[in-house]
Amino acid sequence: MRCFTTGSVIFGMLIFLMGSNVAAQTEVDGDIDTDTIWSITGSPYIVPSSLDLLSGVSLTVDPGVEIRFQFGIQMVVYGTLSAMGSETQPIIFSSDNPPHTHSR
């Protein structure tokens, strides 16, 4: 059994809480064939290959979620996409590719 002082427990909890936000990431690809919610806890959502939201199916994207697409990858929506961000929690669609740097 290990004993901790109050200071070390608080410090350990801070490291755990800080680290848990860094590790969150969800990879999605293929067909979305059931009603789905993308929440902030799974963000960012990485899309490495084409993604189809099938007819009759809904995808709800919660405020604050980030969706990152690989270069040239698309999402085709045949169903219902609901993505309502806010000023304080925008929904971000972006690239998962690092910016190109040019050297001479």
Read off the pLDDT of residues 11-37 as tens digits, 9 standing for 90 and up. Answer: 333 334 444 444 579 999 999 999 999
Inter-CA distances, 75 with 16, 29, 47, Å: 34, 9, 9
Enumerate residues 6+ apart whose C-beta is below 8 A from 5: none
* pTM for the whole structure: 0.71
Break the chain into its structural domains and give their ranges.
25-95
What are the tens digits of pLDDT across the range 51-89?
A: 999 999 999 999 999 999 999 999 999 999 999 999 999
